[in-house]
Amino acid sequence: MGNMKHETVHNITLPKIGFGAWRIGGNSSSNPALDSKSLTALRSALAAGYTHFDTAESYAGGHSEELIGQAIRESGMKRENVFITSKVTESHLKYDHVLTACAGSLRRLKMDYLDLYLIHWPGTGTNYEETFRALNKLVRDGKVKHLGVSNFDLKLLKQVQKLSETPLLTNQVPFSVSDRSYVENGVLDYCQQNEILLTAYSPVDQGKLRSNKALEAIAKAHNATIFQIALAWVISHPRVITIPMSFNPQHIQENFDAAEIELTSQEINSLANLK
């Protein structure tokens, strides 16, 4: 039992499949009516064996972080046995704002440190030297263990890589059977060559994955769902991890179990050639 599929970079080992907490607690603002549904999802994920939880200060106006903290405390899991990623929003990339944003995330999570802190989106006209002066300080002060970015193209990724005092752990970008934009723009290849994880978000197009004959045939061969096959395809790539999201406990378990599906190279190629 348990998810044996991992990626290791810079002595950090992360499960191939983590839990993305977008929509936990609300969308762009907090929606307390979703609390019980959100906590059920988080408890199901913890019970299934997820250890990586990905959130952001902008998710549900910070309420996603509060609920994750609550669910982990209730589960009795030791802090060092979970890996928590959060993100600073693009309007908070000035020096003081980064420090304040991180303090806010930690306060809502009720935690002393983040395992990974990402710049959520590139900001227009951002002075990344200033941003990284703050991010590097957070690492030196022990508030953040590792740094990364999200939605950065290749040029920007290379630019900020030089500004980080510690190796960038990830670039979190959309990647799925139907979205190859970060393969086509060279980001996946660069990450694979440079010991940076690519964290794939929306790996099943937020549940809107369109079915096709190839997916269905492979799903049948593996006694799996097309969603599990789509996830297995994403993580069949070296240096790629993913963070699917679901409120449905059965889907949460199925997503986690997708890490155990071994696709043949023929199956991987047949999905790679879908357009």
The 10s digit of each residue's pLDDT in 200-218 is 999 998 878 888 999 999 9
269 in a domain, yes or no? no
Catalytic residue among 50, 59, 128, 201: 59
Residues of the chain with pLDDT under 50: 1-3
141, burial (CB in 10 Å: exposed 0-12, middle 13-18, buried 19+): exposed
The answer to whether residue 221 is domain-embedded is no
Look at residue 275 in the predicted model and tell me its pLDDT.
60
| Residue 254 in domain | yes
Catalytic-residue membership of 59: yes
Find where tokens 């199925």 sit. Answer: 254
Residues 45, 232 contacting (CB under 8 angstroms)? no
Q: Which of 235, 221, 246, 230 is nearest to 188 (CA)?
A: 235
pLDDT for the residue 120: 98
Pairing of strands 6-9, 12-15: antiparallel
* Rg of the chain (C-alpha set): 18
With b for 16 or more beta-carbon neighbours within 10 A and e for fewer, the 10-33 pattern comes to eebebbbbbbbbbbbbbeeebbee
Question: For residue 209, what pLDDT is reported?
Answer: 86
Considering its fold, how many domains does the chain have in total? 1
In the block, residue with structure tokens 């929509």: 23
pLDDT of residue 2: 42
Q: Is residue 82 part of a domain?
A: yes
Query: Would you say residue 7 lies in a domain?
Result: no
Query: Residue 156 is part of which domain span?
Result: 13-208+240-260
Q: Classify residue 232: in a domain, yes or no.
A: no
Say which CATH number the domain at 39 has: 3.20.20.100
Q: Does a structural domain hold residue 61?
A: yes
In a domain, 145, yes or no: yes
Q: Residue 205: what pLDDT? A: 85
